[in-house]
Amino acid sequence: MMLSVPRGTLRTLRYGPEAGIFMLISVFVSALPVGCTTARIVRGDVLGIKEREFVIAAHSIGTRKRRIIFRHILPNILSPIMVSATLGIANAIITESALSFLGLGFPPDFPTWGRLLYDGANFIQITPARVIWPGLFIALTVLSVNYIGDGLRDALDPRLRG
């Protein structure tokens, strides 16, 4: 008896169920704290903004709640969400690299910067470039993600607009 496999699933079956479970766990481990932190930031900002004068004035003239949310509250909380998300991405990159460097990350057949650092650590006396380049690219990637977050905050924050 021949099993029929849908066409798109052959690519996911190549790594096996262990790799899929590992990826799922690592995504939840790195994304769960970021989601909780972002939710706390958003809740605090929404509670603060809904008591501001312009929201109270919009409510007093009879504006619908949906319009108040989309017109006044959401633009004011968008910049903290972007900053928190970009910091979370940078944190996930550093966490994955550190776990892979310690040998606890992705399996050895997944090329990651942390795995490149782990493999090059034994040869640091012979070829230091095997450690310098992955470390430099980790630092540059994290720095660029943080700069993108700062730029998005500056572009989306209505209080900074002139």
Q: What is the pLDDT of residues 46-93, one digit of tens each?
A: 999 999 999 999 999 999 999 999 998 988 888 888 888 888 888 888
Q: In the structure, what pLDDT confidence band is assigned to residue 21 with cuts at 50, 70 and 90?
A: low
Torsion of CA 77, 80, 83, 88, to 10 degrees: -100
Predicted pLDDT of residue 139: 93
Question: DSSP letters of 44-56?
Answer: HHHHHHTTSHHHH
Predicted pLDDT of residue 11: 47
Report which DSSP code applies to 62.
T
Q: What is the pTM of this model?
A: 0.67
Amino acid at site 79: S
* pLDDT above 90 coverage of the chain, percent: 23
Instruction: Give me the domains of the chain, ranges plus CATH numbers.
Output: 18-156 (1.10.3720.10)
Answer for the pair 67, 59: CB distance below 8 angstroms, yes or no: no
pLDDT over threshold 70, residue 127: yes
Average pLDDT for 6-26? 56
Q: In the structure, what pLDDT confidence band is assigned to residue 12 with cuts at 50, 70 and 90?
A: very low
